[in-house]
């Protein structure tokens, strides 16, 4: 047990020493892996933020029912009653055209423009809260109500949120594809680094084998190297995304102050951060495992050739 632990500690120590011996190459490798991982990670962070933003905007789906401009009060009252009796409607709030104009004046800072209008361009309207928030039910309700007399237009207010949701799904797929591609790149970079290391340390491997090193013993430092390099790349990616979020937040706060709101981008949560590091270390390990299996087998074959040296 102690020997086993000692083996592992020793392999780890040697790996760290090897990192230190070639600082530039190590930094470049870690940089490449970091950038490769930062792209999908950054996209993921952007998605998570957009999603949170979308959720905060869309509470309950609602329908806006706009009446014809020439609809009378009585007709509006009839439509209101019909809406309230409808089994698919939970609540219907009447917004008279004068009140709508007032709200428009108050909320958008367009008072001057509104003031200059010769007459009120807005129709009477109802804001309808449906009983069933399923998209199909909403659409059926919209289609039904829009066929009623004196109703010119029914707008599904959650429609844009659903479009956003669909867009986000697409972006998530893109992030997944990107992550797969860059994961492959990470494995390839590690594979090559380890291949070069095996070539330069071929003698050491041969001698070690000759004097009784087991395959796991020979593999171990390479696997550690791959995993550590991957881990360092993961840390670099995390730092890149962190710096990006920090920079964007600085710019965003200026922008959002002008609109008197406050939006702040969130960085990766602790769980996602740990996943990123575990993922990158795992891929590094995998890349070096592939490389070591390939190339050590070849050194093993070399032993079978007639060889004048013992």
Partner 1 sequence: MISFSQVTKRYAGGLEALRGITLTIENGEMVFITGHSGAGKSTLLKIAAAIERPSSGSVIVNGQNIAALRPRAVPFLRRKFGLVFQDQKLLFDRTAFDNVMLPLAITGFERREAARRVRAALDKVGLLAKEQSFPVTLSGGEQQRLAIARAIVHRPAILVADEPTGNLDTAHALELGELFRSFNQVGVTVIIATHDEAFAARLKPRLVLLREGKLAA
Q: Measured from the CB atom, is 90 or 209 closer to partner 1?
A: 209
What are the tokens at 173?
Answer: 């797929």
- Which member of 12, 104, 213, 252 binds partner 1 (CB under 8 A)? 213
User: Element (H or E) spanning 165, and its range?
Assistant: helix 159-200
- Helices 159-200 and 202-210 sit at what angle, rounded to 10 degrees? 70
- Residue 276 CB, shortest distance to partner 1, in Å, is 34
Q: Measured from the CB atom, is 173 or 207 closer to partner 1?
A: 207
- Which member of 70, 115, 203, 254 binds partner 1 (CB under 8 A)? 203
- Is residue 303 a contact residue for partner 1 (CB under 8 A)? yes
Looking at the chain, the number of H-run helices and the number of E-run strands are: 10, 4
- Is residue 209 a contact residue for partner 1 (CB under 8 A)? yes
Q: Measured from the CB atom, is 3 or 24 closer to partner 1?
A: 3
- Is residue 217 a contact residue for partner 1 (CB under 8 A)? yes
Classify residue 158 by its DSSP letter.
T
- Is residue 270 a contact residue for partner 1 (CB under 8 A)? no
- Is residue 22 a contact residue for partner 1 (CB under 8 A)? no
Place of tokens 């990006």: 244
Please give the radius of gyration of the chain, using alpha carbons only, rounded to the nearest integer.
32
Q: Measured from the CB atom, is 250 or 308 closer to partner 1?
A: 308
Q: Measured from the CB atom, is 70 or 203 closer to partner 1?
A: 203
- Residue 217 CB, shortest distance to partner 1, in Å, is 6
- Is residue 23 a contact residue for partner 1 (CB under 8 A)? no
- Residue 229 CB, shortest distance to partner 1, in Å, is 20
Instruction: Count the alpha carbons within 13 Å of 111 in the hemisphere toward its beta carbon.
Output: 3
Place of tokens 């010119």: 152
User: Element (H or E) spanning 32, and its range?
Assistant: helix 23-57
- Which member of 74, 211, 258, 301 binds partner 1 (CB under 8 A)? 211
* Span interacting with partner 1, options 42-50, 165-173, 213-221, 224-232, rule CB under 8 A: 213-221
- Which member of 39, 199, 208, 235 binds partner 1 (CB under 8 A)? 208
| DSSP-assigned letters across all residues of 178-223 | HHHHHHHHHHHHHHHHHHHHHHHTHHHHHHHHHTT--HHHHHHHHH
- Is residue 2 a contact residue for partner 1 (CB under 8 A)? yes
Give the list of residues 6+ apart from residue 240 with CB closer than 8 angstroms, or none. Answer: 34, 35, 38, 42
**Cα torsion angle, 251, 254, 258, 259, sign:** positive
Q: Measured from the CB atom, is 4 or 259 closer to partner 1?
A: 4
Site string for partner 1, 128-167 (x = CB under 8 A): ----------------------------------------
Cβ atoms of 124 and 67 closer than 8 Å: yes
- Is residue 3 a contact residue for partner 1 (CB under 8 A)? yes
Cβ atoms of 123 and 67 closer than 8 Å: yes
- Residue 306 CB, shortest distance to partner 1, in Å, is 4
* Span interacting with partner 1, options 4-12, 92-100, 234-242, 250-258, rule CB under 8 A: 4-12
Name the region of 150 (left: φ>0; alpha: ψ -120 to 50; beta: rest). left
Residues of this chain that interact with partner 1 (CB under 8 A) are 2-4, 6-7, 10, 203-204, 206-215, 217, 303-306, 308-310
């Amino acid at each position: 047990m102690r020997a086993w632990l000692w083996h592992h500690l020793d392999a780890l120590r040697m790996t760290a020493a090897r990192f230190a011996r070639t600082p530039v190459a190590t930094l470049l490798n870690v940089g490449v892996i970091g950038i490769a991982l930062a792209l999908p990670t950054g996209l993921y962070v952007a998605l998570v933020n957009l999603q949170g933003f979308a959720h905060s905007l869309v509470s309950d789906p609602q329908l806006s029912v706009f009446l014809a401009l020439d609809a009378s009060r009585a007709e509006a009252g009839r439509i209101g009653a019909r809406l309230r009796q409808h089994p698919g409607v939970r609540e219907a709030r009447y917004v008279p055209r004068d009140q709508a104009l007032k709200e428009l004046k108050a909320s958008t800072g367009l008072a001057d423009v509104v003031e200059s209008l010769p007459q009120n361009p807005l129709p009477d309207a109802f804001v309808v809260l449906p009983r069933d928030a399923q998209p199909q039910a909403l659409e059926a309700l919209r289609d039904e109500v829009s066929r009623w007399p004196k109703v010119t237009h029914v707008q599904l207010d959650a429609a844009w949120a659903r479009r956003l949701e669909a867009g986000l799904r697409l972006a998530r797929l893109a992030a997944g594809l990107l992550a797969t591609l860059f994961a492959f790149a990470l494995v390839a970079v590690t594979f090559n680094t380890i291949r070069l290391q095996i070539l330069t340390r071929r003698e050491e491997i041969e001698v070690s084998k000759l004097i009784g090193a087991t395959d796991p013993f020979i593999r171990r430092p390479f696997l550690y190297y791959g995993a550590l390099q991957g881990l360092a790349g993961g840390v670099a990616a995390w730092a890149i995304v962190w710096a990006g979020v920090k920079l964007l937040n600085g710019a965003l706060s200026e922008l959002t102050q002008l609109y008197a709101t406050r939006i702040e981008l969130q960085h990766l949560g602790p769980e996602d951060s740990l996943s990123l590091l575990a993922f990158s270390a795992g891929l590094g390990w995998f890349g070096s495992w592939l490389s070591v299996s390939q190339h050590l087998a070849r050194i093993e074959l070399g032993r079978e050739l007639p060889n004048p040296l013992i």
